[in-house]
Structure 1
Amino acid sequence: MISPALARIPTPPAPARLPEHAPLAVQTRDGLVESVHYGSAIATAADGRTLLSAGDPLAAFYPRSALKPLQAVAMVRAGLDLPGELLALAAASHSGAAAHRDGALRILDLHGLTPEDLQNSTDLPYGTAEREQWLGGGGTATQLTQNCSGKHAAMAATCVINGWPVRGYLDPAHPLQQLVARTVVDLTGEEPRGATTDGCGTPLFALTLPGMARAFGRLAASDGGPEAAVANAMRRHPVMVAGEDRDVTALMRLVPGLLAKDGFEGVQLVGLPDGRALAVKISDGGDRARMPVTVRLLEALDVDTSALPGLATSAVLGGGRPVGLLQATDFLAAPKTAHAPEDL
């Protein structure tokens, strides 16, 4: 007999259709496949055509922090005017180094704001070395050290510039977030499939890999306006976008003109100066698989990746010596064309 207490528990909704992801990366140990990372990926031309794809690229997903450059474009469209390194920080998932913390403070101070005006969640610095240094000095989790503090400082600043209320700037009905929503539609060329709240508290939209790729291609190829301002700031100040020893910073340093931004749960976006772009989603959220898959796509697009061996693979150690490898699969050996939306 079912307990009366259990009987009152509502039946959970049926799960959404599972995306048809493909194996994109594998880790081997002494010749045996130890782990497999499934996911979806796409590369698009400047006009939005699909050049390469794998898995289920039209399955809706949350871009997480890869949405930040689009949010930054919205703020520049609304009048935000920052030095390049601070605009890059507005689009950053930073490691929490002193330069990042000081940069967020500068954005606030330039607009008569203080850290008390930030509405993001609290956290320790994201970077391992930065976190250890912060904790060693007696630091605790704060809004300023949280990896999105640059974006939130810029959002509060944009409110000041436009005479919008700073309090409540994360509300989806707030003028700032309404502008961000319209900008996302404009840059991706698609209506969101859903909406939620990101880890830092910002409204977040469910989109597709082709839509996000189109947006990054547009930013990377732009030669003027807010899109170019954001893209150029990120490319010129890659350490502000992430930090030392971060793969996104290394990728932008090593490939001239490339625009890159990662997101939690295995998301990677890249835009190229000619308007081509690529988008990757690792289905299990595994961060380690994101960059090998990205480098494989860049190779397939004939981008010079000779400077990227350290990002394309990583050694698997046993007793301190290499015994295996994490690397991308040959997921483009049998290319799969993205389904039309009406086929989903």
Structure 2
Amino acid sequence: MRAAEKRVPAHEPVAYAMRAGMVESVHYGSVVVLDGDGAELLAVGDADAAYYPRSTVKPVQGTAMVRSGLDLPDELLALAVASHSGEPRHIEGVSRLLAEHGLDESELRNTPSLPAGQQARRDWLAAGGYAARLPQNCSGKHAAMLATAKLLGQPRDGYLDPDHPVQRAIARTLEELAGEPIAHVAVDGCGAPLFALSLRGVTRAIGRIAAAGADTPEGRVAAAMRTHPEMVGGSGRAVSELLGAPPGLLAKDGAEGTYVAACPDGTAVGVKIADGGDRSRVAVTAAALAMAGVPRATLAEVDGACPVTAGDLALAGELAAYWQA
């Protein structure tokens, strides 16, 4: 397959912000739903243009590291693929991951930040905390990358270089599971390499991880996320609630309006909101999951996920039709 084309995506309306029965704002985006064999069930907008999947590919990054020999207990493996809120359990988990591999916080090269969770940030600041590497939401991934580099006998300094063996292993795994070559390489917000693919390819990859056998690296990552959803996100986070709602469902959020989710049979959805905002992405993801066969009653339990209970947010076009059917 050819790499996804770098172009301005042809996004379409996917959700409307309503006020008193009239459209006030329009959210554009792209959505794709694939069945367990990768066949298209729904495509809205542009599922084939190159885009940055941001943190939605962390399960793929985790798979690559497990393939490379990283062996973590489930709660720490879930943290390795997390965009965590910076709660005490997350910071303690990253510290434990580092310590168990003879590593130190000073070796982390992720961008210093305050905790992402509102309450966690307030508590951190109240205790005299400041922007640091441990509370940053990608610190689990970075600790796992360092541990993998050490296991491979590779230099830990420079582990974020795209040519480092850990990053090359991640790129190979991503291309394999997505079924397409990487279209472009950039730097993510945390400092790690960011590989651009199509929304269709990333959705295919998460579907393959969700359907993988328990004894495979993909299956180990999926099991860790399902068993410890609180480590993947945090208290009150929609991604953690989605992971704990329909049995076996995988879900991963990402920056700039990105989301992926997949069922145990490999049916998967991918969402990209054009303007990078968060207001509509969970509702759109929930609608796509309903179209894929996930019971709407389970999605309605997720805070903010069900368009019926999301205030004045309405779905557009095919998504609305599928949700109402």
Query: Could you state the TM-score of these two structures normalised by the residue count of structure 1?
Result: 0.88
CA contact (8 A) 1:312 1:327 kept: no
Instruction: Name the SS for the 2:279 alignment partner.
Output: helix
Matches within 5 A, 1:100-249: 100-223=90-213, 224-249=215-240
Give structure 2 stretches of 5+ with no counterpart.
1-5
Write the deviation string for residues 123-156 of structure 1: whole angstroms up to 9, x where unpaired. Answer: 0000111101111111100000100000000000
* Moved segments of 4+, more than 4 Å: none
Q: What RMSD over aligned residues (CA atoms) do the two structures have, in Å?
A: 1.5
1:298 matched to 2:289? The reply is yes
Which structure has the larger Rg? 1
Secondary structure of 1:204 counterpart: strand
Give the Cα–Cα distance (whole angstroms) in 2 for the partners of residues 328 and 231 of structure 1.
29
CA distance in 2, matches of 1:122, 1:315: 36
Q: Give the letter for the 1:328 counterpart.
A: L
Matches within 5 A, 1:30-49: 30-49=20-39
Checking the alignment, whether the CA contact within 8 Å between 1:23 and 1:331 is kept in structure 2 is no
Equivalent pair of 1:91/1:150 in contact (CA under 8 Å): yes
1:313 lines up with 2:299 in the alignment:
no
Maintained 8 Å contact 2:14/2:319 = no
SS at match of 2:266: coil
How far did residue 285 of structure 1 move?
Answer: 0.4
**Alignment of 1:284 onto 2:275:** yes
Maintained 8 Å contact 1:221/1:275:
yes
Quote the Cα distance in structure 2 between the aligned partners of 1:263 and 1:235. 18
Pairing partner for 2:315 from 324, 328, 331: 328
Q: 2:137 is paired with a residue of what secondary structure?
A: coil
Task: State the AA in 1 paired with 2:250.
Answer: L
Asked if 1:71 corresponds to 2:65, the answer is: no
Gaps of 5+ in 1: 1-15, 317-323, 336-344
1:259-317 per-residue CA deviation (whole Å, 9 max, x = no partner) reads 0001100000011101111100000001121111011111112211203223123878x
Give the 3-state SS of the residue equivalent to 1:18 in structure 2.
coil
Q: Is the 8 A contact 2:284 2:319 kept in 1?
A: no
TM-score by length of 2: 0.93
